[in-house]
């Protein structure tokens, strides 16, 4: 711990990265480790940053995270929710510090291809190039296996490329890392639709299915058939591909769903020039800070999706969608209590020309056979990017054991 009084002298957001790193308390029990699915060495690299040892900080970060330049930009930072300092003060800027370390590493040529010295002769196919698939591929390649990643879209990255807006993650960030992995020996094939009926196991010793969770949760209420109602991922994908077949320009937009995907839709709609944006969420608003009810809550955060004006409504249930000439015109809503029961007399309407459904995704049950493994959302159900990365690496370990036992 570089400065034992750093968290007392420096407030969150004041000064540079070194000052922010000094706020890390060197806790007896660092709960940030518990809050981080991939087990980042958070207190350790904060101490190294404070002491100017950036190269060593990068080595520790690189040991646990294959995509810190992505998680440092879009991860919801569950580590910060678990930060001990957050009990009675603002938590440490862990995500920002992580991003500072990896960008320093790229700028100073520390991120280099490391080609495995020995190959095992085993071939693995990874289907899907989202965070779980790429994490699995990167670890298997490091272990000496020959890895081919198949992606159905025209570029690698999965939901990171086509589901995350540019204002949160510019796609050259992905290209920079993919170029390194190609130099390390991973083969990428795009525009590839792979099914088990293709008998892929005849060409590979093992297969990892990491296609993500792409089935959206629908809103089955009267008026759902009207035009002008779209799933969040359909909206975000076309926006990222710059086709903008669905545009918010000049429209009154309602986003149903208060999670990260809903926030991305809010930010995208405002940047497209929406006339107004309203975001509604069925659950109550999270607390703005920790309180006596729970020492480790997921509290309310305002992200860069909310740089523009937006009305955010909590504890709201959508009852009916009303239209005119087959087009959506408004939503009939009602307030609900903590038990999600409707509160009589709280009915109201919201005008809408465009409705985006951002209510999450549905888990799919997938059967596998010997030599076929699942990773990420396909195995665990929809979750966070850091959990997908962790699960991809965990699956890589299982595949490696399978291949070595197969010899």
Residue 223 in domain: no
The predicted pLDDT at position 298 comes to 59
Same domain, 399 and 384: yes
Backbone CA torsion sign across 201, 204, 206, 207: negative
Same domain, 374 and 339: no
Same domain, 352 and 369: no
Same domain, 15 and 91: yes
d(CA 1, CA 21): 10
Q: How confident is the model at residue 296 (pLDDT cuts 50, 70, 90)?
A: low
Distances in Å between the Cα of 388 and the Cα atoms of 136, 170, 394 are 10, 20, 10
Last residue of a domain, which of 80, 107, 134? Answer: 107
Same domain, 26 and 89: yes
Number of domains in the chain: 3
Same domain, 272 and 347: yes
For 51, the domain range is: 6-107
Q: How confident is the model at residue 123 (pLDDT cuts 50, 70, 90)?
A: very high
Residue 249 in domain: yes
Same domain, 153 and 173: yes
Same domain, 208 and 169: yes
Residue 392 in domain: yes
The share of the chain scoring above pLDDT 70, in percent, equals: 94
Residue 174 in domain: yes
Which CATH number fits the domain that encloses residue 91? 1.10.1060.10
Do residues 299 and 290 touch, judged by C-beta distance below 8 A?
A: yes
Please name the helix (run of DSSP H) or strand (run of DSSP E) that holds residue 173, with its range, or none: helix 171-184
Mean of per-residue pLDDT scores for the chain:
92
Do residues 205 and 403 touch, judged by C-beta distance below 8 A?
A: yes
Last residue of a domain, which of 320, 342, 357? Answer: 357
Which CATH number fits the domain that encloses residue 290? 3.50.50.60
Nearest to 91 by CA among 39, 46, 38: 46
Residue 260 in domain: yes
Residue 113 in domain: no
The predicted pLDDT at position 147 comes to 98
Model-level pTM?
0.93
Distances in Å between the Cα of 155 and the Cα atoms of 168, 233, 276 are 18, 17, 33
The predicted pLDDT at position 304 comes to 67
- Does 263 have pLDDT greater than 80? yes
Same domain, 234 and 351: yes
The predicted pLDDT at position 293 comes to 63
Residue with tokens 């010793």: 205
């Amino acid at each position: 711990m570089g400065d034992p009084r750093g968290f007392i002298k420096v407030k969150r957001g004041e000064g540079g990265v070194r000052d922010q790193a000094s706020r890390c308390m060197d806790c007896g029990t660092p709960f940030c480790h518990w809050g981080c699915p991939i087990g980042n060495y958070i207190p350790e690299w904060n101490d190294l940053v404070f002491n100017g040892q950036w190269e060593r900080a990068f080595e520790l970060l690189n040991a646990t995270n294959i995509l810190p330049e992505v998680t440092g930009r879009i991860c919801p930072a569950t580590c910060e929710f678990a930060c001990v300092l957050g009990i009675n003060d603002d938590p440490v800027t862990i995500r920002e510090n992580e991003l500072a370390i990896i960008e320093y590493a790229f700028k100073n040529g520390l991120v280099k291809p490391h080609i495995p010295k020995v190959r095992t002769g085993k071939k693995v196919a990874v289907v899907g190039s989202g965070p779980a698939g790429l994490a699995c591929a990167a670890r298997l390649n490091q272990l000496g296996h020959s890895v081919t990643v198949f992606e159905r879209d025209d570029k690698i990255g999965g939901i990171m490329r086509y589901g995350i807006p540019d204002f949160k993650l510019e796609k050259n960030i992905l290209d920079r890392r993919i170029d390194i992995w190609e130099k390390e020996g991973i083969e990428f094939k795009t525009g590839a639709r792979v099914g088990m009926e293709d008998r892929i196991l005849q060409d590979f010793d093992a297969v990892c299915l990491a296609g993500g969770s792409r089935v959206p949760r629908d809103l089955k209420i009267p008026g759902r058939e009207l035009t002008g109602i779209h799933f969040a991922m359909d909206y975000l994908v076309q926006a990222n591909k710059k086709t903008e077949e669905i545009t918010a320009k000049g429209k009154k937009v309602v986003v149903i769903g208060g999670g990260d995907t809903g926030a991305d839709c809010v930010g995208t709609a405002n940047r497209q020039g929406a006339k107004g944006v309203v975001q509604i969420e069925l659950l109550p608003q999270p607390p703005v800070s920790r309180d006596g009810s729970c020492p480790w809550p997921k509290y309310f955060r305002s992200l860069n999706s909310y740089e523009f004006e937006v009305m955010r409504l909590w504890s709201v249930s959508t009852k009916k969608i009303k239209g005119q000439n087959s087009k959506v015109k408004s939503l009939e809503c009602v307030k609900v209590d903590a038990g999600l029961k409707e509160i009589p007399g709280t009915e109201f309407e919201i005008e809408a020309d465009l409705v985006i459904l951002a209510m999450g995704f549905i888990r799919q049950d997938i059967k596998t056979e010997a030599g076929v493994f699942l990773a990420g959302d396909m195995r665990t159900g929809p979750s966070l990017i850091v959990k997908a990365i962790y699960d991809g690496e965990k699956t890589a370990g299982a595949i490696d054991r399978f291949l070595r036992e197969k010899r």
